[in-house]
Structure formats: structure tokens, C-alpha cells
Structure 1
Amino acid sequence: MIDAHALWFRLVDSGHALLDFMASGGVVMWALAGLCVLYWTLVFERIWFIRRVFPRWVESRRQAWSQLGDEPGNWQRAVRGSWLAQAQQQLSGPLRLGKTMVALYPLLGLLGTVSGMIAVFDVLAMSGTGNPRGMAAGVWQATLPTMAGMVLAITGLFSQARLERLARLALDRLADQLRND
């Protein structure tokens, strides 16, 4: 059995290591972390919406559709088109915000690169090339946010593609349920 005291110290050490990692990347790392939290909140909200909320909306439309009558007409097609457009907006509208957030990851990483290089130039201006440790810290500050931005962008692209696929499948199922054959 794991000692609770030892587990607590491991958690504290991990927390300190994470804080050191974030601090070494500069302010941009905190901006990336904040954007990451916002993005994944949106992702989980979309998954919850597609799996829990949207099916109830679909069921209410399906029941209303069955009461419209079996004889196809122009007004039934207009109702169907309207409901499909509403569903498209509900499913895909918030995904545009996610795409924008994913596009911001590498841009923030690039901002971190620029700010890190400015730190390197500050060290060079103050002490010339005689302070390799200061220059290394600036280079680290330049490369860390770039790497983090790219990793977040890649995971964001994969999750965004998955969400778009789920939304498309839900819309296709709704379209199939609202057919008059």
C-alpha cells in the first residue's frame, strides 16, 4: 500500500516541477495554458451537447415530423430544411471558435519565440557573450513556448476533426429520420 505521506510529497514535487516548467517558458506559457483550458472546456461541452442534449432535440423534431403527415409537399420540405439548418448551426457553430483557438496555439508559440530571443539579446547587450548561462535561459524561453504551441495545435487539430465528424454524423442521422419516402 502506498504511504499517503509519500504520495503527498510526490504530488507537491510534481506541482513544483510544473510551475518551474511554466515559469521557464515565460508569460506566453501561461497564456497557452489558459487557452488550452478554454479549448478543452469547449471540446468537452461539445461532446456533452452532441451525446446528451442534441438527441433530445432530435427526438422532439422526429415526433413533430411524424405528426406532419405522410403526403410530401413543399411546406414539409421547407420545415425539414429549416430544422436541418437549425441543427447544423447548433452542431457546427461553436466549432468555429475551436478552430480559431487551435490556430492561436502556434501563433502564441511564435510570440514566445520572439520574447525569448529578446531575452537572449538583452543578455548579449548586458554582458556580451561572456554569460552563456543567461543566453541558454533565453534560448530555452524561446523554444519552450514554440514546442508547447505546436503540441497543443496538433492535439487540437485531432480533437477538432473528431468533433466535426461527430457533428456531421449527428446531422446525417437527423436528415435520415426526417425523410418522407
Structure 2
Amino acid sequence: MFGSLGEALAAGFSAPFESVGDFFHLGGWVLKWILLAALVMWTLILERYWYFARIHPGEFRHRLAAWMERRERRSWHAHRIREQLISELKIGMSSTLPLIRVMVPLAPLLGLLGTVTGMLEVFDAMTAVGQSDVRAMAYGVSHAMISTLAGLVVSLFGLFFSVQLSSRVQVESERLPDLLLPE
């Protein structure tokens, strides 16, 4: 009884991994690069959310305390120090956004690379056999379509979060001068 139950559990747990393996096999070698691009992009996105949740409030309090400790806040020199504090906060908020913006168009370009290699496999299969071998052509077409699909999905999610993070940086940046009042 436990043997068949254990086998059933093992089969149930391994089934999703087999389908992921099939997905990678059908998509070709380009899917590994798309996965790597997605992992880098998601690491950067999650790092930004962690920054806004944990690091930015402390950085803001630190800069605000430095500004409030100043006795004199009206001179030209004091205004330049205030601008520096605001600029440091803006740089901290937007530090990895350019990398995220690079990863967004990279994923569909990798998908396009998979499309081209998949179609080349179709043409190779057609020339090797001398006629159209449906099985070889189907493998090449699936390779092309799966890599294109994966690249587009990664890019769409990345675009959504990139725009969301950019607007958050813009809102926070516009709010900073009001919070660090020159007096």
C-alpha cells in the first residue's frame, strides 16, 4: 500500500518538473538564456521593492536628520547641501532601474533569436530530407514559437513592473523637496 502511495506521490511531485523539462526541450537552447534574463530582471525588481520597503525610509530619515541639524538653512551654501541630499536620495531610488529597462527589451530579442534558430531548423529538416518532414518541421516551429512566447511573457511582466517602479521613483522624487523644506 505504501509503495504505490509513495510512487503516486513521487509521480505527482515530478509531473510539473517533467513538463518544465519538456518545455525547455521544445523551446531549445535560447530558453535557457531567456530564463537567465528573467532571473536577473526579477532579482532587480525584487531588490527595488525591498529597497523601497526597508532601505529608503531609513535613508530618508538619515538625510532629513542631517538637514534638520543644520542651524542655518537659507544661504546659497545651505540650498546646495539640500540639493545634494535630495540628489543622493533620487540616485538611491533609481539605481537599478536602467538595468531593468535593459532587460525588458532583451527578452523578446532573445525570443526572436529562438524564432530564427527554430526556423533554420525547419529549413535544415526540409533540405536534409528533400521534402517536407512534418515531424522535423513541427519541432522547429515549436522551438520558434515557444521561445518567442517566453520572451514576450518575460518582457510584458518586466515592462509592467518597470513602469510601476519608475512612477514610484518619480512620485517620491517630486515629494522630496517638500519634505526637506529650506525654512
Q: Same fold (TM over 0.5)?
A: yes
Q: Quote the Cα distance in structure 2 between the aligned partners of 1:88 and 1:4.
A: 55
Number of aligned positions between the proteins:
179
Q: Describe the superposition over 1:24-63 as per-residue Cα deviations: whole angstroms up to 9, x where unpaired.
A: 1101011101110111011111110111011111101111
Q: Is the 8 A contact 1:99 1:160 kept in 2?
A: yes
Which residue is equivalent to 1:74? 76
Q: Describe the superposition over 1:93-139 as per-residue Cα deviations: whole angstroms up to 9, x where unpaired.
A: 21001100111011101100110011001101111334111111111
Which residue is equivalent to 2:17? 15
Q: Quote the Cα distance in structure 1 between the aligned partners of 2:81 and 2:73.
A: 14
SS in 2 for 1:34: helix
Which residue is equivalent to 1:37? 39
2:99 partner letter: L
Which residue is equivalent to 1:112? 114
Gaps of 5+ in 2: none
Percent of residue pairs identical = 32
Which residue is equivalent to 2:140? 138
Which residue of 115, 126, 129 maps to 2:128? 126
2:114 partner letter: G
Q: Is the 8 A contact 2:110 2:151 kept in 1?
A: yes
124-133 vs 18-27, greater mean Cα deviation: 124-133
Q: Quote the Cα distance in structure 2 between the aligned partners of 1:4 and 1:176.
A: 63
1:108 partner letter: L
Structure 2 length as normaliser, TM-score? 0.91
Q: Is the 8 A contact 1:113 1:145 kept in 2?
A: yes
Q: Is the 8 A contact 1:70 1:180 kept in 2?
A: no
**What CA RMSD, in Å, does the superposition of the two structures yield over aligned residues?**
1.7
Structure 1 length as normaliser, TM-score? 0.92
Residue 167 in structure 1 maps to residue 169 in structure 2: yes
147-156 vs 170-179, greater mean Cα deviation: 170-179
